[in-house]
């Protein structure tokens, strides 16, 4: 198997230097290959005001993210939000930016996840690639690249364990929008939300156990923080909240942790209206004020560390905890691109590829055999012989006698 990644000008691997540019489709490219496309949210191209502004503008212009549309929202977005918010966001990105790779951690990790799947399958008939819903690499361009390599079937893997219209559906919208412009479309499958997949729960539980075992202290409380969502979306039928609760319960059961030491919360709540709660920052503050001195936070809704886990939780939430009396604070890294993550992603992909065995070019002897007309004799119900001629296994001509 071969992975394709962003050009060196766009992306570098954090440990191996520059990632090689994607190969041009070779002259032997043919149909019958399977493409696996990992999709995550995205990041700005660089941690500066204008790059963040472009990224934020694309994100907040998505009707799946902000359902209120019209001239009023346009004025709010372009007159207020995009003139103020990019400055603080750019500063936040600078604090977690991977300068060696020249990219946001989310891109670096997603690239590494694709590399891990490449090594795991090691099959020339399968191609692994990755894209971002907002920013680059663009979903449409990556689909075209996979098609150019002979992938007539593509498995889409939105890296969101819990489904939301604002994340999973938006990613798939972008895919299907691009498919509408294609004369020849690939067959498509989508990986369903994996919030309760045994491989996912097991990998999460193992990561929490290993993290706590490596600490010089024991947490009094383990806080599971998920990204928040406007309550209006759940009222309209979004299953996100129920799936977060299911993940929370399954992870707690796998850890065997006492109920009073295990808490659910929601982070990244912005804007007006009611959002899923209790809010993570409020919960952390109240725990510290209530006497909790040792706290571990896990973020099961994120497949890779990003701004929300590294800056919002790792820096800001940690500061809030200590400012209000807490002493020891630690964040469990996301599953990211380690061996456990690769094994988990491989298990899920293997499940979803069932029945999609990669078709290879027929052997020469098979192709020659298909050119030969074969004669066979059978008997009709009336007792007369029926000569049946066929070319290969499927083409049939009959003459009665």
Q: Where are the chain's structural domains?
A: 2-193, 198-331, 364-400
Q: For 6-37, give the secondary structure using H, E and C.
A: CCCCCCEECCCEECCCCCCCCCCCCCCEEEEE
Cβ-contact 266, 225 below 8 angstroms:
yes
- The pLDDT averaged over each successive group of 10 residues in the chain (401 residues) is 40 36 44 94 97 96 90 90 95 97 97 96 90 97 96 97 98 98 96 98 98 98 97 96 98 97 95 92 98 98 98 98 98 97 97 77 40 43 47 40 38
| Backbone φ and ψ of 103, nearest 5° | -155, 165
What contacts 320, CB < 8 A, 6 or more positions away? 281, 284, 285, 288
| Predicted local distance difference test score (pLDDT) of residue 9 | 34
Please give the CATH number for the structural domain made up of 198-331. 3.40.50.1400
| Predicted local distance difference test score (pLDDT) of residue 70 | 87
What contacts 347, CB < 8 A, 6 or more positions away? 197, 199
| Predicted local distance difference test score (pLDDT) of residue 372 | 41
Cβ-contact 226, 242 below 8 angstroms:
no
What contacts 34, CB < 8 A, 6 or more positions away? 125, 126, 127, 151, 153, 154, 155, 353, 356, 358
| Predicted local distance difference test score (pLDDT) of residue 30 | 63
| Predicted local distance difference test score (pLDDT) of residue 68 | 82
> Same CATH topology for 2-193 and 198-331?
yes
Please give the CATH number for the structural domain made up of 2-193. 3.40.50.1400
| Predicted local distance difference test score (pLDDT) of residue 366 | 35
Distance between CA 35 and CA 146 in Å, rounded? 6
What element of type H or E holds 115? helix 105-121
Distance between CA 88 and CA 48 in Å, rounded? 10
Distance between CA 334 and CA 328 in Å, rounded? 19
């Amino acid at each position: 198997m071969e992975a394709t990644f962003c050009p060196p000008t766009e992306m570098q691997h954090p440990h191996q230097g520059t990632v090689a540019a994607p190969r041009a489709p070779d002259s032997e490219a043919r149909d019958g290959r399977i493409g696996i496309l990992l999709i995550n949210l995205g990041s700005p191209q660089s941690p500066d005001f204008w790059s963040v502004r472009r990224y934020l503008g694309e994100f907040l212009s998505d009707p799946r993210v902000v359902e209120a549309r019209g001239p009023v929202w346009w004025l709010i977005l372009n007159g207020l939000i995009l003139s103020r918010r990019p400055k603080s966001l750019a500063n936040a990105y600078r604090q977690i930016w991977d300068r060696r790779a020249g990219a946001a951690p989310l891109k670096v990790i997603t690239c590494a996840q694709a590399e891990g799947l490449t090594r795991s399958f090691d099959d020339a008939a399968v191609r692994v690639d990755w894209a971002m819903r907002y920013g680059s690499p663009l979903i449409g361009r990556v689909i075209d690249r996979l098609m150019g390599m002979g992938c007539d079937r593509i498995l889409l893997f939105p890296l969101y364990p819990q489904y939301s219209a604002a994340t999973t559906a938006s990613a798939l919208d972008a895919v299907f929008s691009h498919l509408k412009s294609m004369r020849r479309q690939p067959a498509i499958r989508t990986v369903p939300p994996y919030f309760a997949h045994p491989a996912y729960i097991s990998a999460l539980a193992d990561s929490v156990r290993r993290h706590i075992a490596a600490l010089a202290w024991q947490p009094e409380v383990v806080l599971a923080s998920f990204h928040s969502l406007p309550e209006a979306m759940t009222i309209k039928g979004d299953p996100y909240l129920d799936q977060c609760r299911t993940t929370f319960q399954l992870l707690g059961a796998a850890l065997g942790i006492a109920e009073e030491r295990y808490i659910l919360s929601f982070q990244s709540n912005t804007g007006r209206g009611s959002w899923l709660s209790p809010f993570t920052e409020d919960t952390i503050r109240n725990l510290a004020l209530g006497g909790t001195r040792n706290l571990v936070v896990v973020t099961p809704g994120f497949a890779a560390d990003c701004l929300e886990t590294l800056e919002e939780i790792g820096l800001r939430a940690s500061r809030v905890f200590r400012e209000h009396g807490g002493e020891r604070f630690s964040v469990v890294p996301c599953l990211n691109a380690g061996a456990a993550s690769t094994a988990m992603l491989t298990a899920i992909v293997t499940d979803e590829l069932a029945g999609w065995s990669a078709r290879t070019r027929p052997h020469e002897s098979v192709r020659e055999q298909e050119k030969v007309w074969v004669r066979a004799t059978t008997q009709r119900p009336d007792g007369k012989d029926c000569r049946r001629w066929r070319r290969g296994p499927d083409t049939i001509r009959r003459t009665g006698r």
